[in-house]
Chains A and B, each alone.
Chain A
Amino acid sequence: MTFINYASREINCKIVYYGPGLGGKTTNLQYIYDSTSAQAKGKLISLATETDRTLFFDFLPLDLGTVRGFKTRFHLYTVPGQVFYDASRKLILKGVDGVVFVADSQRERMDANVESLFNLELNLKQHGYDLIKMPYVLQLNKRDLPNVISPQELRSELIRKDEPVFEGVANKGVGVFDTLKAVAKQVLLELRKNSGG
């Protein structure tokens, strides 16, 4: 939920990266963190297991600059992708303004993608959100691996509306910032629409 502080002249928006386990959500945030200048980012917080699997969430605050005199900050979160962390995923989705779904392009992960997407819609609904009506971007990650499904097939299985779709190789940064820019733009345009602009 967007937070507008007139006293400090700041607008904060929340973006959540969702998707199946080991799909590249945390990698997206890590790449954004590594590639962003120190002035534009805060600390990357990762609440993870000993084997670096996200346990609760990753969090990265980004300062995108000033618009109409207001500092525009995006808080990026990832959820834990493993199936049994559903209770935590529900909590992280609260107050979300935009969602990125990071799909794993590998053939053997197709079922996991579909299940995770269904889970996303269900958890959003429980918070009173509708994926069809909110800022949303689909990233087809791991395009560099040999056993990947074609983008066309992935789109046919996963696309939910006319959301922007980006092919990605998150560990090399391919598609990472395109994805972020697309969802951030949607969030800001939605803010404008909701204020009658």
Chain B
Amino acid sequence: MTTPVVLYEEEYGQLKHVITRLCADANAKFVFLVDKNGQQIAAHGEMLNLDTTSLASLTAGNVAATDGLAHLIGERGFPVLSHEGERDNLHISIVASRVILVVIFDERSSLGLVRLRVKRATAEMNGIFELIDSKLTRERDMGIAFDSPFAEITEEDIDALFS
């Protein structure tokens, strides 16, 4: 098993701030950040009843399949995907090579505006993820062990989950 991906509150707050601003600046309905393995990272918007778990999994699958297609034809990847619906549209882009940014927008916005705002937000988030990486590398180099909430878990704790 590889080292878990960890998101601390400080970095989560920073990412949440960026996507909240993106949602407002792009006039979007919903902005969503997913890791490439299909795990939800952060979300903001007016679509309160949206099934974000399914959205995360399907988005990651979509991007993975598209990446597969890209490699087949000799491309490194397709970093931007756009889907136009009757009412709502999806803009999907890759951030820091491992996170997917999803923007859902309708006629109150435009693809051009979304692209413009996503570009700025992506640059900001790239910086945040670089900081996360360097923080983890620094801690690793200093021999600071990852403080997992599961370090003290017992078999009784696990059995209780299934009772």
Show the binding face of A for B, using Cβ within 8 Å.
1-8, 11-12, 14, 42-43, 45, 47, 56-57, 59, 61, 64-65, 67-70, 72, 75, 87-88, 90-92, 94-95, 97, 128, 133-135, 177, 181, 184-185, 187-192, 194-197
Closest chain A residue, CB of each to CB of B52: A42
Closest chain A residue, CB of each to CB of B51: A43
Please determine whether A7 and B150 come into contact, CB atoms closer than 8 angstroms. no
Main secondary structure of the interface of A (DSSP, over half): mixed
CB of B29 within 8 A of chain A? no
Please determine whether B153 and A188 come into contact, CB atoms closer than 8 angstroms. yes
Contact partners of B38 in chain A: CB under 8 A: 14, 59, 75, 95
Count how many pairs of residues, one from A and one from B, have CB atoms less than 8 Å apart in the complex.
147
Contact partners of A4 in chain B: CB under 8 A: 4-7, 148-149
Q: Which of A6, A57, A70, A190 contacts B12 (CB 8 A)?
A: A6
Closest chain A residue, CB of each to CB of B63: A91
Interface size of B in residues (CB-CB distance below 8 Å)? 42
Contact partners of A97 in chain B: CB under 8 A: 1
Scoring B9, B53, B145, B157 by chain A CB atoms within 10 A of each residue's CB, the highest score goes to: B53
Q: Which of A57, A69, A92, A190 contacts B149 (CB 8 A)?
A: A69
Q: How far is the CB of B64 from chain A (nearest CB, A)?
A: 4
Contact with A along B1-44 (1 / 0, CB 8 A): 11111111100110000000000000000000001111101000
Contact partners of A56 in chain B: CB under 8 A: 61, 65
Q: How far is the CB of A72 from chain B (nearest CB, A)?
A: 6
Contact partners of A12 in chain B: CB under 8 A: 39
Closest chain A residue, CB of each to CB of B12: A7
Instruction: Tell me the B117-163 residues at the A interface (CB within 8 Å).
Output: 145-153, 155, 157-162
Closest chain B residue, CB of each to CB of A44: B54
Contact partners of A191 in chain B: CB under 8 A: 1, 4, 148, 150, 153
Contact partners of B5 in chain A: CB under 8 A: 1-4
**How far apart sit A87 and B13, CA to CA, in the bound complex (Å)?**
37
Please determine whether B148 and A64 come into contact, CB atoms closer than 8 angstroms. no
Please determine whether A192 and B7 come into contact, CB atoms closer than 8 angstroms. no
